[in-house]
Amino acid sequence: MSERSSAKKWYSWYFDFNLLYRILIGLVLGIILGLVFKEKILWITPFGDLFVRLLKMIMMPIIVSTLIVGASSVSPANLGKVGIRIIIFYLLTSAVAVVIGLAMGVIFHPSAELANVADAAARDVTAPKLSATLLAIVPTSVMQAIVNETVLAVIFAALLIGIAISYLRISGDERKEKIAGVLYHFFDGVAEVMMLIIKGIMQYAPIGVLSLVAVVFATNGPKVVGSLGIVTAACFIGYALHVIIVYGGLVKFYARLPIKRFFRDAKDPFITAFVTRSSNGTLPVTMESAENLGVHKDIYSFSLPLGATINMDGTAIYQGVCATFIALSVWGHGFSISQMGIIVVTATLASIGTAGVPGAGAIMLLLVLDSVGLPVTAGSVVAGAYAMILGIDALLDMGRTALNVTGDLACTTIVASKMKELDTAKWK
């Protein structure tokens, strides 16, 4: 056997082993190493910092590209009455989901009590004035907004560019349509490249999580373990409440349809999303359920792919809970009302930019954190708290993806029923 192939063999066990398990093992090993070796393990810190730097590196490009692609894939030609209604439903249910997530955060109060090592800079952050925050949404320079990572301003500019591209694409002027097509494919290409880079970075995640978590446990001791259980409980109870109150309530009281029948057909995409952790991957199953529920094809063939791209209620709840966890852990106190308002806006808009693939929500969480003055920077306490969340991300992602696709199906069914585009014979 040549030296080269034996070298490949030496490390291929790492890549062949399921990534989820690797990250989980990284979390557990990090906890053990931190608790056993205490400050003697702190030399590991740069390995965690490297992971944070890699994530930060792709954050802005991915936000800009996915938001532009998300906004420009809503073709104004398709908007009409159905399109507008479905988008309003998607955005409103996502905003309610963030509120539920924040409420779960307030009720469960998940905190890892990392305050003893909190960085002073983060603690000093005071809530910005609402009028100033609103005005700052419009950047005076798009490039500066990207460089300074002014999240809301970047989102605003990206959405505007995306919408403009989508209008140009149907302008009727051959030249403009061609240019818009090129731009769309360019940003779509950038988004794909970023996704590929994330895949690569995630191969390093087990080591990154191990190092970051080891540092957290070395400096804080065992008292922070239970907090991850509370974060998980808060997320899953939030998910359940959203399904029952929002989807159940809307289907029963707004669309006046039997909820049992709805959930019977929603079960298949729910389970598929739970195990695949991908809204996009679940799309064929969601479409079949919409068909079985009697939704006309011209509605679901537009609304479901759009929903898999822009409607992420589970992700929104997760962001509300996790942002609260990180704030409580780093600052020792939760968000002010105006900060909560900012989170509702950013997390709702971030859901547009969240790709329907495993783990995308965790990247978008970086953006939400940035918007309230909790940037994940190398060596910061925020990074430690974020790594703890990342360690259990697979579990949280299963629940949030299941909710994401159920939301797509619920909104589609409700709008179809309101527009009399539902074959009610199938509900008998």
Residues that bind ligand ASP in the complex, under the rule CB under 6 A: 277-279, 312, 315, 354, 356-361, 397, 400-401, 404
Q: Based on CB atoms, which residue is closest to ligand ASP, 220 or 401?
A: 401
Q: How far is the CB of 66 from ligand ASP (least distance, A)?
A: 11
Compute the least distance from the CB of residue 243 to ligand ASP, in Å.
Answer: 15
Three-state secondary-structure class, residue 422: strand
**Cβ nearer to ligand ASP, comparing 49 with 397:** 397
Task: Check: CB of residue 385 under 8 Å from CB of residue 231.
Answer: no
User: Closer CB to ligand ASP, residue 79 or residue 395?
Assistant: 395
Question: CA-to-CA distance for 127 and 204, rounded, in angstroms?
Answer: 35
Closest approach of Cβ 403 to ligand ASP, in Å? Answer: 9
Question: Positive or negative CA dihedral for 318, 312, 158, 85?
Answer: negative
**Least Å from the CB of residue 321 to ligand ASP:** 13
As measured in angstroms, the least distance from the Cβ of 357 to ligand ASP is: 5
* In the complex, minimum distance from the CB of residue 312 to ligand ASP, in angstroms, rounded to a whole number: 6
User: Number of helices and strands (H, E) in the chain?
Assistant: 19, 0
Q: Report the nearest approach of ligand ASP to the CB of residue 59 (Å).
A: 15
Min. distance of Cβ 265 from ligand ASP in angstroms? Answer: 19
- Write b or e for each residue in 116-132: b if 16 or more Cβ atoms lie within 10 A of its Cβ, otherwise e: eebeeebeeeebbeeee
Judged by DSSP in three states, 173 sits in coil
* Beta bridge mates, 295: 422
**Two tokens at 68?**
């532009």
Give the type of residue at 137: I
Find all residues with CB under 8 Å of 374, minimum gap 6, and list them: 122, 125, 323, 326, 327, 330, 382
Beta bridge partners of 422: 295
State which residue, 279 or 417, has the beta carbon closest to ligand ASP. 279
Q: Which is nearer to ligand ASP, 93 or 404 (CB)?
A: 404
b/e code 65-89 from CB counts within 10 Å (16+ = b): bbbbbbbbbbeeebeeebbebbbeb
> Which of 142, 241 has the CB closer to ligand ASP?
241
Alpha helices in 277-336 (DSSP H): 279-292, 297-310, 313-331
Of the pair 219, 324, the CB lying nearest ligand ASP is at: 324
| CB 134, min distance to ligand ASP, A | 27
Residue with the closest Cβ to ligand ASP? Answer: 361
Q: Which is nearer to ligand ASP, 219 or 401 (CB)?
A: 401
DSSP state of 128: P
Tell me whether residue 224 or residue 231 sits nearer to ligand ASP (CB atom): 231
User: Residue 137 and residue 174: Cα distance in Å, rounded?
Assistant: 33
CA dihedral 320, 74, 202, 122 (to 10 degrees): -40
